[in-house]
Amino acid sequence: MRWWAPPLLALQFLTRVPVPITARLSAGEAREGLIRAVGWFPLVGTLVGCVTAAIVVAAGSVWPAIVVVPIALVVEARLTGAFHEDAVADFCDAFGGGYGADDVSRIMKDSRIGSYGALGLMLAVGLRAVLTVDLVRVGQWQAVAAIVAAACFGRLTAVGLMTVIRPVGSGLGKDVAGRVGRSTMLLALATAAPGLVGFLLLEPMRLLAAWAAALLFLGCFRALLLRRIGGSTGDCLGFAAYAGQLILLLAATALR
């Protein structure tokens, strides 16, 4: 496996950034590289968070926070292809409208968005927006550190879910998630460090609270998934990533 393949495949997988060099990989190399790319997901999240934070800072010199934050989220959605937002909508539709495991799986694969998905996505994005607006009003650097850390922490949460529950279904997603183990999680923790260090220096206790809340979420979420469908899917992982972002933002804004 070429050394540059996993991080670049992680960037290609989680964003719409063109990475032409990955075309040099054979099908086998690309498949193996994507499995190893999981450990680089938090670093890609950090890069996404840096773009979002940069838009907040740049637009903040022209508009108030209530205008700046939606602009930043629009740019981020374009950058990521609304990857995790799509998962939030699919997850809410499936788990809100499905009864048995077969119903949940069928609805989750349906590209159409129903009432549960629309409401869940609206509430998730709305909550993230108001939390970010509140952070911008607290202070620019606190907001930058929290935005970057939340984007990193969300992807780290998804990797954490991969390590504690087996995937269900079929296809590349199952192959990738099914081979995530301790070494991948350790790599993910290492690649998360650049994105979390700023928030750690400014708000160590809030980061600790976010860690505790994320561990509680993963335990409860794992139990829910095992009970309803017997494992995890790509949409469940995307939902976990978005939940991880919200957890850190909630910790960053609590008791201000």
3-class secondary-structure state, position 167: strand
Contact 249, 131 (CB under 8 A): yes
Contact 234, 91 (CB under 8 A): no
Cα 241 versus chain centre, distance: 3
Q: Return the closest-CA partner of residue 177 out of 85, 78, 41, 50.
A: 41
- What is the Cα–Cα distance from 28 to 26, expressed in whole angstroms? 5
Cα 97 versus chain centre, distance: 23
Contact 169, 163 (CB under 8 A): no
Gyration radius from the chain CA atoms? 18
Within a 10 A sphere around the Cβ of 1, how many other Cβ atoms? Answer: 12
Per-residue pLDDT of the chain (256 residues; tens, 9 = 90+): 577 889 999 999 999 999 888 878 777 777 777 888 999 999 999 999 999 999 999 999 999 999 999 999 999 999 999 999 999 999 999 999 888 899 998 999 888 999 999 999 999 999 999 999 999 999 999 999 999 999 999 999 999 999 999 888 765 556 666 667 788 999 999 999 999 999 999 999 999 999 999 999 999 999 999 999 999 999 999 999 999 999 999 999 998 7
- What is the Cα–Cα distance from 104 to 98, expressed in whole angstroms? 5
Residue given tokens 């549960």 in the structure block: 116
pTM, to two decimals: 0.94
The amino acid sitting at 222 is R
42 Cβ contact partners less than 8 Å away, ≥ 6 residues apart: 152, 153, 155, 156, 159, 188, 189, 191, 192, 195
Q: At what angle do helices 65-80 and 83-97 cross, to 10 degrees?
A: 90
235 Cβ contact partners less than 8 Å away, ≥ 6 residues apart: 87, 90, 91, 94, 108
> How is the chain split into domains, by residue range?
42-253
Contact 38, 52 (CB under 8 A): no
